A and B are shown apart, each in its own frame.
Chain A
Amino acid sequence: MTIHVSETGISPYAICIVLSYVIGYTYTFVQMRRDNVPKSIYFYTLMLTGFCSVYLAVIYTRCTSGAFGISSMGAMFGMILGIVIMTYIARDYKHSIMTAYITALPLFYSISKIGCFLVGCCNGKLYSGPFYVEYFGTPSHIQPGRLFPIQLLETMVFFLIFCFSYFYRKKRGSNCVTIILCGVSKFLLDYLRMSHANQIFSVNQIFCILTIIITLVIALGKHTYSKDLTNGYKKSS
């Protein structure tokens, strides 16, 4: 498969970023309205998560590569930050907000990766097997040669995670499982990227490990707390 990346016209990368936000936020709107969350709460959550995700997307890129750009990882962390803050403000709707947005996180990511695929950024290692992709064009980020279509693989994997988390969203602990699945997938898929050459762990992988550890600690803490509550209730009754 060959893709010609043009410098004229609107970038498909930008279109995919905008599309990922539109589709992701539409999904969260539908889910939150199903849970009878007021429109005002949804609107404030949208403002906060939108701003935080854009801010951290830029800061993450600036800190990790020193250049100006946007990072899907940074955007995801920003969105999680916005969700956590909003759950403290609107405690009555904490569960609905968390479930809707954490289920949607892999959906946001999978659509944004289509943009990366179409313009040749975040590309995979050199590869000549089936489904290789070759980019042609004048932009400086274009990597010559046959490459592994890691962006497409990430799109498919994260879309599957989204489907899984959608169908199991009502189960206890599903939010933690979704985040851990996203972290493990991103960690493993990062080995197939060109930028991972000559490294044991990339910056993205280190952040994935930290995310998984923090999520496990929170999940275990909640489990222990609810167990203590149940034991305390049994003793008192």
Chain B
Amino acid sequence: MDNMNRNDLPMSEEDRKKANTLCIISTILLVAPKILSCIGTFISSTITGEHISKFLYSALATRMVSSMMSALYGLSSLCTIASLVLMIIVRVKYPKSTYGKVLMWIFIILGIIMILAFLMLLAFCISCSNSLKGCPG
């Protein structure tokens, strides 16, 4: 027993529960904003579509929906960072957590997809890679 180091010891039930709780919160933070963004995009396209002339104060409604969508997209990215932070906390403090390992691989795959998408964008969308209107330094 004395020769076993910390990494060889199985996870205690309490640690497992804490790890799983953090992983569940991380998953919710990763997925929920994306779902809300999709719902929001659907609602905004419905409101600002053909029905716009039927709404009173349609300009105000469009602006409100547009502001809400911007806030939602910003929140989505913040939630993704928070989700990533929680996953890293689980992997550092509870390295034996299987849920944590799965989440890590999800993030790795998402990261690879994002990098590949960025590289393809560079290769095939020259006007996008040259878009430098907002390069304040």
Measured CB to CB, the residues of A under 8 A from B are 7-11, 13-14, 40-41, 44, 47-48, 50-52, 55, 59-62, 64-73, 85-86, 89-90, 116, 119, 121-122, 139-141, 186, 190, 193, 195, 203-204
Prevailing SS type, chain B contact patch = helix
How many angstroms between the C-alpha atoms of A146 and B16 in the bound complex? 64
CB distance A69 to B81 under 8 Å? no
Residues of A within 8 Å of B88, CB to CB, are 44, 47-48, 86, 89
By beta carbon, the residue of chain B nearest A8 is: B126
CB pairs A–B below 8 angstroms (27 shown): A7-B127, A9-B126, A10-B123, A11-B129, A13-B129, A13-B130, A13-B132, A40-B92, A44-B91, A44-B92, A47-B107, A48-B84, A51-B84, A52-B81, A55-B77, A55-B81, A61-B135, A65-B136, A67-B134, A68-B133, A71-B136, A73-B137, A90-B92, A119-B130, A193-B137, A195-B136, A203-B136
**B77: chain A residues within 8 A (beta carbon):** 55, 59
Instruction: Say which size band chain B's interface belongs to.
Output: 20 to 34
Q: Which residues of A contact B74 (CB under 8 A)?
A: 59
A7 adjacent to B126 (CB under 8 Å): yes
Distance in angstroms from B96 CB to nearest chain A CB is 13
Contacts of B111 in A (CB 8 A): 47, 50-51
User: In the complex, what distance in Å separates the CA atom of A227 from the CA atom of B126?
Assistant: 56
A40 touches B91 (CB 8 A): yes
- In B65-94, the 8 Å CB interface with A consists of 74, 77, 80-81, 84-85, 88-89, 91-92
For B131, the chain A residues whose CB sits under 8 A away are 68-69
Q: A47-B111, A141-B132 are in contact. List 20 more A-B contacts (CB 8 A).
A: A7-B126, A10-B123, A10-B129, A11-B122, A11-B126, A11-B129, A52-B81, A55-B81, A61-B134, A64-B134, A65-B136, A67-B133, A67-B134, A70-B135, A122-B137, A139-B130, A139-B132, A190-B137, A195-B136, A204-B137
A118 to chain B, nearest CB (A): 11
Contact of A51 among B80, B89, B126, B129 (CB under 8 A): B80
CB neighbours (8 Å) of A90 from chain B are 92
**B70–chain A nearest beta-carbon distance, Å:** 9
Across-interface contacts of A11 in B (CB, < 8 A): 122, 126, 129-130
